[in-house]
Amino acid sequence: MRLRIRLHSTEGFEDFLAPTKFCDCDNQEIIKKAKELTENDNTPKEAALSIFHFLRDKIPYLVNYIVKASETLKTGQGFCITKSNLQVALLRAINIPARYHHAYLKKEVLKDIVPVIVYENMQDIITFHPWCECYLSKKWISCDTTFDKALVEALYKKNLRSKNEIPSIHWDGENDLNTMNTWMVEDKGTHESLDNLFLEIQKDWNNTPIENYVQMNQYINNVRKI
């Protein structure tokens, strides 16, 4: 049985609560984790904030294969695609409508975060950046968890990013938080599912040798160190 937090109404939000191939919010481990994270919460806002902080800081920004939400939970790491997908799944598991917002970003967002050789070989525009939005207080609110707190604090301290570029990574459960605005070049809108996009990216992404990701993540972890 799925955990339920009382909402004003879920009528008309069925597509934003449903499981998909990648967003397996009906997976028992997803449901168990959602219940664990929100067991002391009494409102959807409190629950969404608990899930937000878990995704932002307990699932550090590291690159891996495109997998289901339950697999991201198991590995305990992710990047924009897998973190937002897990966030959507955990929210849906407790009956909070959630969706994806998709945009194109300048590759400069990853400068000094990934190895130079990786950065130089990237296309100028990243075409697959999603973040999570949830429905609270009768409105959709962006709650972006892409970069973890430890990484952002290191970027600030090492002068690799400024507060003008990333003004905040803190979310209050009431106002939009999108940490990637500085680098956004095209807004592709909102979607109840991004499975087709994930499948398209997966074709090439999951053929990358795991050693490449290990080396990239070692670099990211070194950036994270203060």
Rounded CA-CA distance 18/26 in Å is 8
Residue 141, in any domain of the structure: yes
Per residue in 9-32, pLDDT (tens digit) is 667 899 999 999 999 999 999 999
On whether the CB atoms of residues 17 and 147 are closer than 8 A, the answer is no
The reported pLDDT for the residue numbered 187 is 98
The reported pLDDT for the residue numbered 1 is 36
Residue 134, in any domain of the structure: yes
Per residue in 204-218, pLDDT (tens digit) is 899 999 999 999 999
Residue 87, in any domain of the structure: yes
Rounded to two decimals, the pTM is: 0.95
The reported pLDDT for the residue numbered 2 is 43
Residue 46, in any domain of the structure: yes
Per residue in 187-203, pLDDT (tens digit) is 999 999 999 999 999 98
Domain count of the chain?
1
What's the average model confidence in pLDDT over 166-171? 97
Per residue in 105-164, pLDDT (tens digit) is 999 999 999 999 999 999 999 999 999 999 999 999 999 999 999 999 999 999 999 999
Contacts of 11 (CB under 8 A, 6+ apart): none
Mean model confidence pLDDT for the chain: 95
pLDDT at position 6 over 70: no
Rounded CA-CA distance 35/90 in Å is 9
The reported pLDDT for the residue numbered 9 is 62
In which domain, by residue range, is 172 found?
Answer: 14-198
The reported pLDDT for the residue numbered 204 is 85
The reported pLDDT for the residue numbered 5 is 58
CATH of the domain at 92: 3.10.620.30
